[in-house]
Structure 1
Amino acid sequence: MSVNLQVSNLTVTYGAIAAVRGVSFSAAAGEIVTIVGANGAGKTTVLNALCGLRTIGGGAIVLDGEDITALPPHERVRRGISQVPEGRRLFGRMTVAENLEIGGYTRSDRAEKRHDLDHVLELFPRLKERYRQLAGTLSGGEQQMVAMGRALMARPRFLLLDEPTMGLAPQIVDLVLESIKRVNREGVTILLVEQNAYRALEIADRAFVLESGEISLTGPGDVLLNHPQVRSAYLGFDG
């Protein structure tokens, strides 16, 4: 499998504080890669650096052989990177339809956009029912579907997901994770940050643990799922 993304010695600082220190990892085309870590470990900072929302202090980000370290966010979207941010960050006073339309703002291919919109509505049938409803009036699970659909409207090759199941009911968690697996099966590389470490590692091809801004463990998802340190610190098991 060819390498889709290569991150080398990524460093991000907030004033005198280094939030991310020398982080290096890769994601091959078609993989699901999960980042596990406690609150404040630097997970969201890594995602924001990858999509250009956080200035980095050092290191390099290479996508499909192109160094995109200095590119602004909208150019990274054009290169195929989309993010579903923590907290969804929808336009609450706009409809589901309008939020989805915004997701494809960099695109001019109307017929293909219409095809992708139909695909999003097929992936999340609830959104078809809520299509003309204001996004701010939806349930948490429905809002997460809109956030994912909006990101998919950019036709990404690389999708960043930040806490997609946070605050959702168990049955909605299942639906969201199944949709992530389906999008991945369709060829989209996934980088997943998820507090529900057990469920995230279950679907991960590879994963790494971020502690205080540094990678402390890395390996296949199923291996980390059974690693004593991960089980004790993040999965609630002793040993």
Structure 2
Amino acid sequence: MSKVLEVSDLTVAYGAIRAVRNVSFRVEPGELVTIVGANGAGKTTVLNALCGLRDIRGGRIRLGTTDITHLPPQDRVALGLSQVPEGRRLFPRMTVAENLEIGAYTRREAAAVAADLEWVLELFPRLRERGRQLAGTLSGGEQQMVAMGRAVMARPDVLVLDEPTMGLAPQIVDLVLDALRAINANGVTVLLVEQNAYRALEIADRAFVLESGEIVMTGTGAELLDHPDIRNAYLGYDA
């Protein structure tokens, strides 16, 4: 069973400006939860704070029974929290296979790593064909597949993703979201930040709406899809 992710009164500041203010939420084991909001609402800041990539002003972050608030990023990965960052951040001069192998750097059980690699290649068959190709020469969609595969290779309890469909062609968006649902169905808890609010809410068990660094609304994905304020503000049409 995956671990619960619990965030309590998270506050992140850039100088005197509080970009995230007293944000609290839980992601239960096995859930797929999305955070939606306008550009600049603080979504990426929340994810980076969870993963240890942003210093926080206040609050607590727990993964299962462990307080990870002040742990370095690599320790959070070892405990089961993996990130697919915005912009993918692959190693462009390394091959696809090498990028995927790096995802398993904290693991020692060779047979289990090999089995997970095979599963990643089943999720993204194109990566099997591209194994020896340099990651920097791939298309944007293929690079996103590598970034997701690399994170899965850490065998996370909780996977957080920042804008995984940004700039991708519609058919690749479908492939990425289908893979994300398959990852979640395989027992991985998912926390998703996604600018395409409609598609994110379609697949989410629950969702939080972030405005100016604060959570202003929560509900199931279906409830928020049907909420007139969400339709007007984020989905481009009125109720």
> So what's the TM-score if we normalise by structure 2?
0.98
How many correspondences in the alignment? 239
| Aligned residue identity for 2:88 | R
1:66 counterpart residue number: 66
2:17 counterpart residue number: 17
Question: Which SS does the other structure have where 1:218 is aligned?
Answer: strand
| Aligned residue identity for 2:162 | D
The runs of at least 4 aligned residues of structure 1 exceeding 3 Å deviation read none
The Cα shift of 1:2 comes to 8.8
Structure 1, residues 38-72: CA drift from partner, whole Å, max 9, x if none? 11110001001111111111000111122111111
The Cα shift of 1:238 comes to 2.0
Q: Distance in 2 between matches of 1:89 and 1:3?
A: 26
2:167 is the alignment partner of 1:173: no
Question: Which SS does the other structure have where 1:149 is aligned?
Answer: helix
| Aligned residue identity for 2:164 | P
2:148 is the alignment partner of 1:153: no
Unaligned stretches of 5+ in structure 2? none
| Aligned residue identity for 1:175 | L
Structure 1, residues 211-236: CA drift from partner, whole Å, max 9, x if none? 00000110111000111111001000
2:138 counterpart residue number: 138
Structure 1, residues 1-35: CA drift from partner, whole Å, max 9, x if none? 99711110000001111010000000000000000
The Cα shift of 1:108 comes to 1.5
2:226 is the alignment partner of 1:198: no
Q: Distance in 1 between matches of 2:238 and 2:181?
A: 29
Q: Distance in 1 between matches of 2:137 and 2:75?
A: 32
Q: Distance in 2 between matches of 1:42 and 1:88?
A: 19
Q: How does 1:192-231 map to 2 (within 5 A)?
A: 192-231=192-231
| Aligned residue identity for 1:222 | A
The Cα shift of 1:112 comes to 1.3
Q: Aligned-pair RMSD on alpha carbons? A: 1.2
- Aligned 8 A contact 2:3 2:157 in 1: no
Q: Distance in 1 between matches of 2:177 and 2:2?
A: 25
Q: Distance in 2 between matches of 1:108 and 1:185?
A: 25
1:38 counterpart residue number: 38
1:85 counterpart residue number: 85
| Aligned residue identity for 2:168 | L
Question: Which SS does the other structure have where 1:234 is aligned?
Answer: helix
Q: Distance in 1 between matches of 2:151 and 2:142?
A: 14
Q: Distance in 1 between matches of 2:67 and 2:133?
A: 40
Between the two proteins, what is the percent identity of the paired residues? 74
Question: Which SS does the other structure have where 2:235 is aligned?
Answer: coil
| Aligned residue identity for 1:192 | L
